[in-house]
Amino acid sequence: MEIKRYGGTGRMSKAVAYNGVLYICGQTGDSKDDIKKQASDILERIEGLLKEYGSDKSLLLTAQVFLGDIRLFDEFNEVWDKWVIPGCEPTRFCVESRAASACKNAEVVVTAALKE
């Protein structure tokens, strides 16, 4: 089976498709605003990448959420819960982890099935 890599930078790919699965690299928000704005930016970006590379959020398999401060968990979930499609929720974990940039309060990594 062919591995397809998209948006390579020499360090990483924006997305990789293999064996019917799309792997999207970690996404962060552009904003220095609050966690809700950053979460919204991240999820909007993920939705666009899913569409661009042959999937959508109804096909999410798993999500990894990294928060700069675990106390932001409830606020992040307010945005997440409105975005995820009921009945199509992926597996998910959420941990506290420092980001490379202090203004980035969240990073999300997702995998999704490709459309047939």
Q: Quick one: 4-113 is in which CATH superfamily?
A: RutC-like (3.30.1330.40)
Tokens representing 47? 């939705």
Match 């047939």 to its residue by tokens: 116
> What are the tens digits of pLDDT across the range 77-103?
999 999 999 999 999 999 999 776 666
Give the ranges where the chain is alpha helix by DSSP (H): 35-52, 73-83
State the pLDDT at residue 98: 78
Question: What pLDDT, in 10s, does the model give residues 35-50?
Answer: 999 999 999 999 999 9
Q: Whole-structure pTM over 0.85, yes or no? A: yes
Alpha-carbon 76 to chain mean position:
13
